[in-house]
């Protein structure tokens, strides 16, 4: 099998969108189950949330915020590409989407540290 040609920036943009989407879909059931703990009362939820104070969990949460943001901004880019008049500046928009997502992640970390 002949390998695919060298990947372009926009191939990576699409792959980031795909991987972030799959990761968010896998995280979602856990997220729902944790919130579901509140059925047993506030204490049950709090009993789980103490784990959220661990630095490693904070880093994982930074990852989640980044994934959510990059899927949002990347998705808006795809829909702009598909529904708005064609623009040749696709790479710029893809870079902007990733940049904005890092800003959201950094905003989360700054907020978590305060």
Partner 1 sequence: MGSIDSGSQPAANGKLEIKIWRGRAKDGAFSAYQVPEQAHQTVLDVVTYVQRRIDATLAYRFACRVGMCGSCAMTVNGVPRWTCRTDVKTVARKGRLVIEPLRNLPVVKDLVTDMAPFFDKWQAAEGRLQATSDREAEVATIDPASPERKAADAGVECINCAVCYSACDVVTWNPDYLGPAALNRAWTLQNDERDGGKAERLRAVTSDGGCQNCHSHQSCTEHCPVGLSPTASIAGLKRMATRAAFGRGPR
Partner 2 sequence: MIGPRLWLLQRATALIMAPFVLVHLGLIIVAVQGGLDASEILARTQGSWGWALFYVAFVLAVAIHAAIGLRVVIAETLRPRRWVLNLTAWVILIVLAVLGLRAVYAVIA
CB 42 within 8 A of CB 31: no
Q: Is 42 in the site for partner 2 (CB under 8 A)?
A: yes
Check residue 72 and report its DSSP letter: H
CA distance 19 to 63: 12
Q: Which does 10 bind (CB under 5 to 8 A by kind): partner 1, partner 2, none?
A: partner 1
Q: Mark the segment that binds partner 2 (CB under 8 A) among 2-10, 60-68, 91-99.
A: 60-68
Residue count at the site for partner 1 (CB under 8 A)?
A: 18
- Residue 75 CB contacts under 8 Å (≥ 6 apart), including other chains: 17
Q: Which of residues 54-113 bind partner 1 (CB under 8 A)?
A: 78, 81-83, 86, 88, 90
Nearest partner of 79 among 23, 8, 17, judged by Cα: 17
Of the pair 10, 81, the CB lying nearest partner 2 is at 81
Place of tokens 């047993």: 40
The binding site for partner 1 (CB under 8 A) comprises 1-8, 10-11, 14, 78, 81-83, 86, 88, 90
């Amino acid at each position: 099998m002949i390998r695919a040609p060298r990947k372009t920036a926009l191939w990576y943009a699409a792959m980031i969108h795909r991987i972030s989407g799959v990761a968010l879909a896998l995280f979602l059931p856990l997220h729902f189950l944790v919130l579901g703990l509140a059925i047993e009362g506030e204490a049950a939820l709090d009993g789980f949330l103490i784990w959220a104070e661990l630095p490693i969990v904070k880093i994982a949460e930074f990852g989640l915020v980044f994934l959510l943001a990059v899927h949002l901004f990347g998705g808006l880019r795809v829909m702009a590409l598909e529904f708005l008049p064609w623009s040749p500046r696709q790479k710029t928009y893809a870079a902007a989407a990733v940049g904005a997502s890092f800003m959201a992640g950094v905003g989360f970390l700054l907020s978590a540290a305060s």
